Amino acid sequence: MQSPDELIDDPGPRDACGVFGVWAPGEEVAKLTYFGLYALQHRGQESAGMAVSNGERIMVFKDMGLVSQVFDEPTLNSLNGYMAVGHCRYSTTGSSTWSNAQPTFRGTAGGGLALAHNGNLTNTDELEAWLATSVEASEVPRKDRMDSTSDTALVTALMAVYADNGLKAAALEVLPRLQGAFCLVFSNEKTLFAARDPQGIHPLVLGRLERGWVVASETAALDIIGATLIREIEPGELISIDEAGLSCVRFAEADPKGCLFEYVYLARPDTLIADRRVHAVRVEIGRTLALESPIDADMVIPTPESGTPSAIGYAEASGIPFGLGLVKNSYVGRTFIQPSQTIRQLGIRLKLNPIRDVIEGKRLVVVDDSIVRGNTQRALVKMLREAGAAEVHVRIASPPVQWPCFYGIDFATRAELIAPGLSVDEICRSIGADTLGYISLEGLTASTGISGRKLCRACFDGVYPVPIPAARARQMGLEQSLGS
């Protein structure tokens, strides 16, 4: 099964997952979760699932595919309860198989445990060893986690081992031992929990319904179900929600290092992060890009849709008219049809098609969010020239991606990235553009309004806020010792 992005051998940056949780007696929580996951579909398109509790038992339904492919009306109507945990997945740890779809589920001493995870852990070897010791000591069968290869299953198994005194106690035992990026939403039969890593690398927010509470990866998921944003869940915080209300406890000191790439690409433009709308940040990125990398041209066009806000900002700051020169197929998503070689060669046209009447004879500024391997931009430049563009000047709303991500974004190994070892001029020649310009790291950071000390910028500068095990670093093509 291949997505249209994979047809051009350049899937680009993809996030690990979207998580959602709701505690709302009297509401149709399965349908709320469905719409919440629908709003988070961009964060994971391989599988989707939810676990619903009626207070006595937890029912789990999950499968491969998009949210709309996994769930239908009869399925949602059968998932009755007042609390749910939902997930949509793109794999970074563990293969893309049904057994790795989430939420995971385990039986514990106090009942069931359903858990969903966004992010990626960096100390899984250490946790594996701890689990082996813990299982041996507690006589819990090791088979409890052997049906999955994901770090999520590892966390679920550890919590199950330590759940003798309740799930909250188990979480407070396990969470301080986790390293890397994690936004967790989990529950037993009666209580909903959510936790965020001490660095707060990826977003996780708390919302209020008239008759309950919601947690989600992005504020856009709150908007779609009519929930009111209360606040972000703090880095290093564990919250629990039950009939007694909301309670919060800190399991680690906060050391904020929010992912800078959320602003560039990952988050929806209508989402709020750190009290700023992502769309506004991206427009400001475009303005900064125009000041840093000006060019004489006739029209600014975006690579839809992630390049659109920055293209708007570039046009505003440069005075060059904004135009829509590319049409995106809104129905392109994950496909279950194996394409023929002829279709495969069409590549990017499955996603984008130029409007010849708009671009013919024009000197174009094409604004895109990032360049990872360069195949997409190479195909795009070629397509625009074939459609009659006089010049193609590519402008990128992020600095060169130089380093892989260990925290939940599927960047390639360093050897597969186009930027390491090549100058900007060499990359420009590689993709066939007339000129190429990137925003600076300083300019991108300033556009967010957040201090660089509170951001993870590792994919751009190689400074990792959570140390990476040496063996994993070597595997990803990083020879030197890493860490902040």
Q: Does domain 277-475 have CATH number 3.40.109.10?
A: no
- pLDDT score for 145: 41
17 is catalytic: yes
Query: Among residues of the chain, what percentage have pLDDT more than 70?
Result: 86
Q: Which of 17, 259, 405, 428 is catalytic?
A: 17
Q: Do domains 4-256 and 277-475 have the same CATH topology?
A: no
| Better-predicted residue by pLDDT, 147 or 230 | 230
Residue with tokens 């986690």: 145
Q: Which is nearest to 460 in space by CA: 371, 395, 366?
A: 371
For residues 140-167, give the mean pLDDT: 76
Query: What is the pairing mode between strands 455-456 and 258-259?
Result: parallel
| Better-predicted residue by pLDDT, 229 or 340 | 229
For residues 462-473, give the mean pLDDT: 85
pLDDT higher than 60, residue 93: no
- pLDDT score for 369: 96
- pLDDT score for 97: 54
Distance CA 8, CA 406 (A): 24
By CB atoms closer than 10 A (0-12, 13-18, 19+), residue 157 is buried
Average pLDDT, the chain: 89
Single pTM value for the model:
0.90
Lowest average pLDDT, out of 93-102, 332-341, 393-402, goes to 332-341
Q: Where are the domains of the chain?
A: 4-256, 277-475
For domain 4-256, the CATH class is alpha beta
